[in-house]
Amino acid sequence: MLHYESKKVENCFSGANVYEYRLDIRLDEEYIESLGLTGEIHYYRKFPRPFFQVTFTDGTQVKGIINATIIKVVFPDMSIEPQQKFEKLLAAMLQKKLCR
């Protein structure tokens, strides 16, 4: 079964709710697109290591290197709902990968 690990990461702000997720897969553009169905996606393909950023309508941001296994997710506040929603989406995406 595909899965992920998550770890809270800190920055300068006490109110920040930021996690890193280490995935079993490399997050290519197809999966970024499936993550970004309900949000806005920016690709920076010309960078030496291309970067992406997805912003969901609830303010959650997903960012990282395209085709890397680690992504950073910035949740809009400390409430649990955006994180639950994101992890549900992530699990569904990983399940889809497993079924392919």
Q: Least distance from C-beta 44 to another protein, angstroms? A: 5
Q: Where are the beta strands (DSSP E) in 1-100?
A: 4-9, 17-23, 39-44, 51-56, 61-65, 70-75
Decide whether 3 or 49 has the Cβ nearer to another protein.
49
Q: How far apart are CA 91 and CA 48, in angstroms?
A: 29
Binding site for another protein (CB under 8 A): 11-13, 44, 46-51, 53, 63-65, 68, 72
Per DSSP, the chain holds a count of helices (H) and strands (E) of 2, 6
Decide whether 42 or 88 has the Cβ nearer to another protein.
42
Q: Least distance from C-beta 60 to another protein, angstroms? A: 14
Decide whether 11 or 57 has the Cβ nearer to another protein.
11
DSSP β-ladder status, 61-65 and 4-9: unpaired
Q: Least distance from C-beta 33 to another protein, angstroms? A: 19
